[in-house]
Structure 1
């Protein structure tokens, strides 16, 4: 594929406001309150890109719900080094020290924009003895070598494995490792050595689906990935889902690993999600997709595709300042730092 002459290539700088301020066209960033007034609901707070703090509804007598941190990335760059690689253009809404205590860290795959060593090391140093990691098959050695954690502190699962994690104070959560269409590898020597996956979480009568990175249908393939219909049939319906909508161009190349906003509408339907939030946009530019994709395109296309299907629930810049309507069924957006409670 010739990227230089590709007609999809349309490099557009990240927009800026007057005097170098943050543009109003970019996703808003707010200080999170973590949905503190909704202890009885399932909550997800977007930290940017694919990072979410999920809190299950609190069991009777508990001061809070069980917390699962998905794909935490707080570093400035999503890269093996601090001076090169994709750099965030949207700040994190909170610091690692301000982050509430978490019980589980959930990793979809080992790419640098989903598994950030500095972030997980910091959290583990604070929560050692009270923290469990979940990831796809063959990821356990990485956590043991890089964090010094015990084998019992990590569960690496195969697709369709289901297991329960219990805590002494905050109840338990049923977790299922689910398939996706993606790949793995932190360098050229270990490509595909660890399993990539999505996750289904269930506790207290509520279900959540976290897709991580996934494609839906690569160019020139006769049919879409069958996993999402299977997930919906076996594990759905879901009360809340987080689905990818960005870093998807050029589609001829990226279509086998990243879904478009329009394709994630199909994923939303097939997994039987009641409400889905767009993610994997608005935070960092991909090394390749940054040359092709205006950072404002993913949420605009997500909204347009949802409206075409009669399922737009608002939120984000595209929502005109109004929060996502959680009483509706469909898809929407949220600010970085915003909590969606269902």
Structure 2
């Protein structure tokens, strides 16, 4: 079967710096055998054992789940069927379905899964690990046909084997393409995905993807401040990343009334290292997001993390707080940012420190403190809701 999906190189923005003969700062080894966060904002290196020790020695108990009416509202998705534009449907945590603006003559845009996870438990086993306390808004077989997967990193709450296999087996080889960071392609191949259906990228690598009869989109692998592992022995052996998406204008425009739109997906990321203070904004931020904003901004829509951020002295290097993500919103030059990575599971030690109502409350407080309009520049959405950046004449 001939694949309807074509992946081709896409030029990155010119830079005044000459190409370096040295390996990138985030590579360990040449060729890389592992990766690192190359900024002071990443703080000291910490092992998985350090996290376990912190959790075990903590005197905090798991916080209770509040009543249903105080949790995220869940609705059945309608996929924004009555609207035209760039669409993002939230399934909880960091999982989204993106659909680019449908061009004239096409009944839909390019559909892209971002870190899709549909199981009740985000874990290598079904009987232990982080479990959803808010149900998924629909079943996987109710999701419209997907063309692309973008995976930010390989943690179980962002990369789910059952979802990858189901979509690939349902759609068939050549009908869906997977994008991931360096080193992660071999995992997809071990799952039965064909080599031609997986593209792994380094930070700042870009590809243009054309889906026959549907449209085209530029995919850019951009930095984030995080880590990776799926076992106790593969720490940081695959690259973590964020993603920038650009709709590709057809000849004579986008094929619709509006301009080509841009979306940013942060994946999992920290923003600044905090040693003890709960909100020490004087510490240096991760410079990658300002660089993303300069190269690819402004963005019409950004999906930014606001939860699983406590305790700050341990989580700040890898999980952004609402205050951090307001700064990220500015850095990447986002015109509208939606909070995510909250309201779904209690990840790791955050369940002992973070009330699940805290992230959305602080996100709104930060919005109002900075003078933004809630629901316009900064906001949230229901689980199952589709946020649309509509076409304007």
Matching of residue 251 in structure 1 with residue 312 in structure 2: yes
Q: What secondary structure, in the 3-state scheme, does the structure 1 residue paired with 2:85 have?
A: coil
Measured in 2, the distance between the counterparts of 1:228 and 1:180 equals: 8
Corresponding residue to 1:197 among 221, 224, 241 = 241
The CA deviation at 1:54 is 0.3
Matching of residue 27 in structure 1 with residue 77 in structure 2: no
1:160-309 aligned at under 5 Å gives the runs 160-203=204-247, 204=249, 205-220=260-275, 222-309=283-370
Measured in 2, the distance between the counterparts of 1:105 and 1:187 equals: 22
The CA deviation at 1:120 is 1.1
The CA deviation at 1:169 is 1.3
What residue number does 1:67 align with?
A: 111
What residue number does 1:14 align with?
A: 65
Measured in 2, the distance between the counterparts of 1:89 and 1:259 equals: 21
| CA distance 1:304–1:6, change in 2 (3 Å) | farther
The CA deviation at 1:4 is 6.9
Measured in 2, the distance between the counterparts of 1:161 and 1:44 equals: 23
The CA deviation at 1:144 is 0.8
Query: Displaced runs of 4+ in structure 1, greater than 3 A?
Result: 1-7
Matching of residue 335 in structure 1 with residue 382 in structure 2: yes
The CA deviation at 1:163 is 0.8
The CA deviation at 1:12 is 2.4
Measured in 1, the distance between the counterparts of 2:133 and 2:161 equals: 20
Q: What secondary structure, in the 3-state scheme, does the structure 2 residue paired with 1:121 have?
A: helix
Matching of residue 140 in structure 1 with residue 185 in structure 2: yes
Q: What secondary structure, in the 3-state scheme, does the structure 1 residue paired with 2:234 have?
A: coil
Measured in 2, the distance between the counterparts of 1:11 and 1:269 equals: 34
Runs of 5+ consecutive residues of structure 2 not aligned to the other structure: 1-52, 250-259, 276-281
RMSD of Structure 2 on Structure 1 (CA): 1.5
Measured in 2, the distance between the counterparts of 1:270 and 1:312 equals: 18
- Give the TM-score normalised by the residue count of structure 2: 0.79
My pick for the range that moved more, 219-228 or 76-85, is: 219-228
My pick for the range that moved more, 237-246 or 217-226, is: 217-226
Measured in 2, the distance between the counterparts of 1:3 and 1:178 equals: 31
Runs of 5+ consecutive residues of structure 1 not aligned to the other structure: 17-22, 315-327
Measured in 2, the distance between the counterparts of 1:218 and 1:35 equals: 38
- Give the TM-score normalised by the residue count of structure 1: 0.90
Measured in 2, the distance between the counterparts of 1:208 and 1:269 equals: 14
Measured in 2, the distance between the counterparts of 1:75 and 1:312 equals: 35
Checking the alignment, whether the CA contact within 8 Å between 1:229 and 1:271 is kept in structure 2 is yes
Measured in 1, the distance between the counterparts of 2:215 and 2:102 equals: 8
Measured in 1, the distance between the counterparts of 2:205 and 2:221 equals: 6
Measured in 2, the distance between the counterparts of 1:154 and 1:3 equals: 36
Measured in 2, the distance between the counterparts of 1:100 and 1:275 equals: 25
What residue number does 2:132 align with?
A: 88
My pick for the range that moved more, 304-313 or 246-255, is: 304-313
My pick for the range that moved more, 28-37 or 123-132, is: 123-132
Checking the alignment, whether the CA contact within 8 Å between 1:76 and 1:88 is kept in structure 2 is yes
Checking the alignment, whether the CA contact within 8 Å between 1:45 and 1:54 is kept in structure 2 is yes
Checking the alignment, whether the CA contact within 8 Å between 2:271 and 2:286 is kept in structure 1 is yes
What residue number does 1:43 align with?
A: 87
